[in-house]
Structure 1
Amino acid sequence: MLADQDIARVRARLLASPQPMPDADDLVADIILPDAFDGPPVPAAVLIALVRRGADFSVLYTERSAGLRRHSGQVAFPGGRIDPEDRDAAYAALREANEEVALNPADAEVLGYMPYFFTGTNYFITPVVAVVEPRAPFIANPGEVDDVFEVPLHRIIDPGSYGVFRVMHMGQERRGWQIDHEGHRIWGITAELTRRFRDQIILGGAPA
């Protein structure tokens, strides 16, 4: 459970504005993929939504549609590319959340931003953190999302919720965080951002 003073501490640990994109030569990706860098980094934003449910909070996730060309079937935060007409990363994240799960931007209070995350697929991601008090159910857009679900915040805080995900990449084993929740497996970038959110923003410490 988070009280109002806890939300104030969360806000204080966030950036007041998104980090600007450094020169491409200064960006280091989480993983290097062959032929991934065929152009300038692509600005993107994801929404880490603290959904208020009575006295408790949960975090919102989606399961991407199996018909999508990239990352099909994977668990993700709502989000996507920042379009030229988007005012900023927060606007883009809320727009995408509205398109994907019918989250009303008016129900969200943006608290701030986490440091950027640069991916091996050439996306420069700005995580946007918001408190959401939904006045209507979230509804998955079948063209983009197969399912929408929430993980209670106490599960995200609990270190016992985290396992190790292993994958072979270019002949080497890579490890990352993994959370299993009611038939959903959260791994990859989404699990890494979840853990950073837990460690740095909720608990206010250094990454584990």
Structure 2
Amino acid sequence: MTRLLPAAEPMPDAADLVADFVISDLGNAVPVPAAVLIALVKRGMGYNVLYTERATALRKHSGQVAFPGGRIDPEDQDAAYAALREANEEVALHRDDADVLGYMPYYYTGTNYFITPVVAIVDPRAPFVPNPGEVDDVFEVPLETLIDENSYSTFRAVFRGKERQSWQIDHNGHRIWGITANLTRRFRDSVLTGPSNGS
């Protein structure tokens, strides 16, 4: 995993941020720091990547597939601490079971979130358990599936008269699209199959 960054990227000036999809004019709103955990879960001789299906009762992005994660709170030490804290709250992932490998470049969303993807190896001591207040389901996708180019298609939706596109992955009845699919594809292209740093 030498293609990962050794530290999270600092947030640039808001004027220099370009969103993945512009939903509306955010004005002078300060970007919200957030972190997600791309967990490589040890299973037998290989690895799976951990995903959650957000609870349908949530106000934002209900029912969508996401990586464990959320806002970075002021008391969080860094992005890795926040991602692991959220993973513990959402699916009972124990912090001591995770070995952080590094970080991916930030991802800025049209909803004004500045996301730092944190990549970690996870050797779970117990099954993951969804927190019913936040997560309806937790599932894993084999790393080999995510490496396979044929696992990806294009998701299209019209929002406020404009077409939005993202990557899409369908796996065992789960549809991964939007930010989560785009981050998965970035992980595939830049970390799993791309050239290493310095090459």
TM-score by length of 2: 0.95
Match of 2:121 in 1: 131
1:45 corresponds to which of 35, 41, 45: 35
Match of 1:150 in 2: 140
CA deviations over 1:143-179 (Å, ceiling 9, x no partner)? 0000000001110001111111011133232221100
Conserved 8 A contact 2:40-2:119: yes
* Unaligned segments of structure 1, at least 5 residues: 1-9
2:150 corresponds to which of 157, 160, 171: 160
Match of 1:3 in 2: none
Match of 1:56 in 2: 46
What amino acid is aligned across from residue 130 of structure 1 in structure 2?
A: A
Match of 1:103 in 2: 93
Secondary structure of residue in 2 paired with 1:13: coil
CA distance in 1, matches of 2:78, 2:136: 27
* Unaligned segments of structure 2, at least 5 residues: none
Match of 1:177 in 2: 167
1:14 corresponds to which of 4, 8, 32: 4
Secondary structure of residue in 2 paired with 1:99: helix
Question: CA offset at residue 193 of structure 1?
Answer: 0.2
What amino acid is aligned across from residue 98 of structure 1 in structure 2?
A: N
Match of 1:25 in 2: 15
CA distance in 1, matches of 2:85, 2:132: 16
CA distance in 1, matches of 2:135, 2:26: 24
1:141 corresponds to which of 119, 131, 147: 131
Question: CA offset at residue 38 of structure 1?
Answer: 5.9
Give the fraction of aligned pairs with identical amino acids, expressed as a percent: 70
Conserved 8 A contact 1:14-1:111: yes
TM-score by length of 1: 0.91
Bigger shift: residues 197-206 or 31-40: 31-40
Question: CA offset at residue 35 of structure 1?
Answer: 4.9
